[in-house]
């Protein structure tokens, strides 16, 4: 993904040889500087991998939460659409009718 855009690897930086010139830089200083670049470059790559892993986890969690949210919304709509509200009076009427059915209609 992001690694396709990176031109050099730490190994390529490490193995780079510069031709010596009579007025060139000191090889020890170039090597020290390249060592710093290699270290930073390696850290950068590991940070990218870590961030990609975190991003993948967050995307999966987001999808899971969206799915859960969708289910909950559907359940809320089902509950909203049911107009049946049971009160104590309704329960007493039903209980009375059940008793009459079970025990007979004695008055």
Write down the domain spans for the chain.
2-103
What residues contact 1, with CB distance under 8 A and at least 6 apart? 52
Global pTM exceeds 0.75: no
Paired tokens of 19: 């031709």
How much is the mean pLDDT over the chain?
83
Report the residue count for the chain.
Answer: 107
Given a contact cutoff of 8 angstroms between Cβ atoms, the answer to whether 10 and 41 are in contact is: yes
Tens digit of pLDDT for each residue in 20-39?
777 777 778 888 888 888 88
Average pLDDT of the segment spanning 76-86: 75
- CB of 13 closer than 8 Å to CB of 38: yes
CA–CA dist 56, 63 (Å, integer): 11
Instruction: Specify the higher pLDDT residue, 58 or 29.
Output: 58
């Amino acid at each position: 993904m992001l690694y396709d855009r990176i031109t050099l690897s730490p190994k390529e930086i490490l193995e780079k040889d510069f031709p010596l010139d009579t007025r060139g830089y000191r090889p020890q200083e170039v090597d020290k500087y390249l060592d710093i670049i290699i270290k930073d470059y390696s850290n950068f790559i590991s940070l990218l991998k870590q961030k990609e892993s975190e991003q993948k986890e967050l995307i999966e969690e987001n999808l899971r939460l969206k799915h859960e949210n969708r289910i909950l919304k559907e359940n809320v709509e089902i509950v909203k659409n049911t107009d049946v509200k049971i009160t104590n009076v309704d329960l007493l009427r039903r209980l009375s009718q059940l008793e009459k059915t079970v025990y007979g209609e004695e008055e």
